[in-house]
Structure formats: C-alpha cells, structure tokens
C-alpha cells in the first residue's frame, strides 16, 4: 500500500513569510506614528490625573502595534530560514498510522487511536482522537500547553498547520479519511492522485 505524504510548498512559504515581515514592519511603523502624534497631548510638568490617564493610554496604544509587529517579524524570519532547507513533510500516513508535524516536532499516532480526521478551517487539519488526554500526557511541557489550547479551539490536541501545503486542507482530510476507513475495514487503499512526491 502506497503511503500518503504531504509536503510544504516553497512558494507558499515565501508568500506567507513576506506577508508576515511586511505586516510586522507596517505595525511597528504604525506604533511609531501613533507615539509621535500623541506625544504632545500632555504638557511638560502636567501631573494631573487626566495627564496620567493620557500617558497610560498612549503607552497601551503604542505597545500593541509594536508587540504585534515584533511577533510578525519573528514569525516571518523563522519561515524565511526554512525556505532554504529541505521541505518538511507535514503529514505522512502508512498502514501503521499517521506521523504529524506539530510545532516542528514529529508525533506518531496509530490508526486505532484515531476516530476521525477533519478540516475545520482553511489552513489546518484536526485529527480527532479516541483518548486525547492520553495523547497530551505523552507530550513535552511546551507541547502539552499547545495541545490543551488546540483542544479548546479545535476539539482535538492534534492539529496540523497545512496552510503552506499545495493541497487544500479539505482534500487532505478527505484523503486521510479514506485511508482511515480502509485501514478500519482491513482493505486500506490509496486514493488515486494523492501521491505527493518531493518536488525538485
């Protein structure tokens, strides 16, 4: 039986990285502009309650774009560093189970632990588990925090970001779902046209 493998796409990685970097820089510039525009709202030597409130508001309003911008830049730079490296297999499946790339760590899930595979948005795949708590308990402390957050948002700790994959999430979920049904019925077969060789 032919395994299913879904890789990152370099062009989509580049596009996402550029958007994050440009968005991060724009947010930082916005923070600087807001700071400059609000700088003269309080006269020097004014220690009134209103002045303190304005200063606090100015700090909060200025901090938000800086934090968002820095986060965007950091994420964009991390993606850029991945572009020159070998492509990452986000999801791979064979007769034994599914290997998932979760926060850049490989996690293997046997088919018997999987109840369903769903696409709940335009960029991710949720692997619905029979016993999600057991899956979380085997993770490192940092991953466990991510898994618990995923549980609240997606209903499963095992959520793979496939936004940079060449195949849309709903198609990936459908193909993996067929594979799962095949394994469960003892007649696992690869759907036509789903083999994804590593691009040159």
Mind listing the pLDDT tens digit for each residue in 98-135?
Answer: 999 887 788 899 999 999 999 978 889 999 999 999 99
190 is a domain residue: no
Report how far residue 110's alpha carbon sits from residue 112's, in angstroms, rounded to the nearest whole number: 5
User: What local confidence, expressed as pLDDT, does residue 47 receive?
Assistant: 58
User: What local confidence, expressed as pLDDT, does residue 113 receive?
Assistant: 93
169 is a domain residue: yes
For residues 131 and 113, is the Cβ–Cβ distance under 8 A? yes
Report how far residue 170's alpha carbon sits from residue 78's, in angstroms, rounded to the nearest whole number: 26
Q: Which residues contact 129 (CB under 8 A, 6 or more apart)?
A: 109, 113, 114, 115, 135, 156, 157, 158
3 is a domain residue: no
Q: What are phi and psi of 186, to 5 degrees?
A: 80, 10
CATH of the domain at 118: 2.30.29
For the segment 67-80, the average pLDDT, to the nearest whole number, is 80
Domain span at 37? 10-83
Per-residue pLDDT band for 157 (boundaries 50, 70, 90) equals: very high
Per-residue pLDDT band for 54 (boundaries 50, 70, 90) equals: low
Q: Which residues contact 43 (CB under 8 A, 6 or more apart)?
A: 51
Residue closest to 12 by CA, chosen among 127, 126, 155, 123: 123
114 is a domain residue: yes
Same domain, 114 and 175: yes
72 is a domain residue: yes
194 is a domain residue: no
pLDDT over 70 (residue 1)? no
Same domain, 59 and 126: no
3-state secondary structure 171-183: HHHHHHHHHHHHH
Higher pLDDT, 21 or 58: 21
The residue out of 51, 83, 115 marking a domain boundary is 83
Alpha-helix runs per DSSP H in the chain: 10-38, 49-83, 132-137, 141-154, 169-185
């Amino acid at each position: 039986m032919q395994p299913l493998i879904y890789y990152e796409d370099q062009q989509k990685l580049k596009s996402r990285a550029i958007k994050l970097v440009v968005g991060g820089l724009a947010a930082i510039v916005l923070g600087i502009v807001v700071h400059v525009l609000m700088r003269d709202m309080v006269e020097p030597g004014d220690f009134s309650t209103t002045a303190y409130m304005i200063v606090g508001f100015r700090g909060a309003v200025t901090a938000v774009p800086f934090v968002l911008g820095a986060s965007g830049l950091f994420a964009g730079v991390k993606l850029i560093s991945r572009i020159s490296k070998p492509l990452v297999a986000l999801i791979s499946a064979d007769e034994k189970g599914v290997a998932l790339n979760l926060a850049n760590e490989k996690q293997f899930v046997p088919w018997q632990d999987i109840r369903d595979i769903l696409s709940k948005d335009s960029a991710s795949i949720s692997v619905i588990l029979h016993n999600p708590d057991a899956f979380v308990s085997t993770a490192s402390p940092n991953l466990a925090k991510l898994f618990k957050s995923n549980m609240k948002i997606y209903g499963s700790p095992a959520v793979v970001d496939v936004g940079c994959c060449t195949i849309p999430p709903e198609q990936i979920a459908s193909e993996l779902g067929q594979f799962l049904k095949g394994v469960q019925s003892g007649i696992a077969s690869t759907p036509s046209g789903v083999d994804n060789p590593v691009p040159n």
